[in-house]
Amino acid sequence: MHWLLQEFEDTHKLAEALDRLEIPYSWHRVVPFVGELIPEPEVPDPHAVVMFGSYALWRYAEKKNYRPGVFRLQPFVRETAWHPYLLNGTDALFLTLRDIPGRLSGDGRDWFLRPVDDSKAEPGNVKSAGEIVQMAQQVLALGEDEIPSGSLRHDTELMLTRPARILQEWRLWAVGGKIVTYSLYKEGTRVVYRPEIDAHALEFAQLMVDINPGYSPAYVIDICRTDEGLRLLETNCLNAAGFYAADLQKLAAAIDALVPA
């Protein structure tokens, strides 16, 4: 399989793993707003291409009919198999930006929020209801044609949940139905990147993959340990997610094996 890489610090680390595995790859820049790649990729087989870099690469992959290209995901909160395991998922509110002022004005509570779709228009974070209303009002004051691509929009749907005390957070990479590598990335409020996980957390992550086998051939799954046990935090597009302390040689080999030689 041929790998197309957009230049970032993480993709340079990935390239080192590809070199060790003798997997072919090429470097490309993305033309802003246009989405074309420089230089134009030369690939032997469009059905044996994978892309790593910014999430927006999916548009180029679809345009060129690259497969697997970019592993796009359905919103994880819509996956009913995972509902019992989501962090506060049963208590979540789902609101568009235009619904927020009427629903949260005067609420007085803090909320964890994140976009429902797999975008980075607003990173997952905790805000007070007042701050969320103010954020929504700033977006709603703009016309739809004034809002930059990739930003929050009037119809952006957010998931809001009660904040929980998280003890540890891990990122794991699922490829072909198996967890192939992992990284601890947070202990309490402290960011740490270490290639470690305990047996119970690893078993929990594999269970999440097993109970939803048709989700995607490859994706990132973030899990956490709380006072109430292990929970699923979110999933992310594998092609654009940070690698933290993952074993990139194991990851690259697993992805490359998705397309038979």
Does domain 91-161 fall under CATH 3.40.720? My reply is: no
Least confident of 146-155, 221-230, 239-248: 146-155
pLDDT at residue 45 in the model? 96
- Count CA atoms within 13 Å of residue 241 on its CB side: 29
C-alpha–C-alpha distance, residues 124 and 24, integer Å = 35
- What is the residue extent of each domain of the chain? 2-69, 91-161, 164-236
Residue 150 tokens, joined: 């990739």
Q: Could you tell me the pTM of the whole model?
A: 0.86
pLDDT at residue 153, as a whole number:
93
The partner residues of 230 in beta bridges, in order of sequence, read: 225
Over the stretch 175-229, which tens digit does the pLDDT of each residue have? 999 999 999 999 998 999 999 999 999 999 999 999 999 999 999 999 999 998 9
- What is the mean predicted confidence (pLDDT) over 12-36? 93
Domain 164-236 carries which CATH code? 3.30.470.20
Range with the lowest mean pLDDT among 56-65, 110-119, 213-222, 247-256?
A: 110-119
Asked whether the beta carbons of 30 and 10 are under 8 A apart, the reply is no
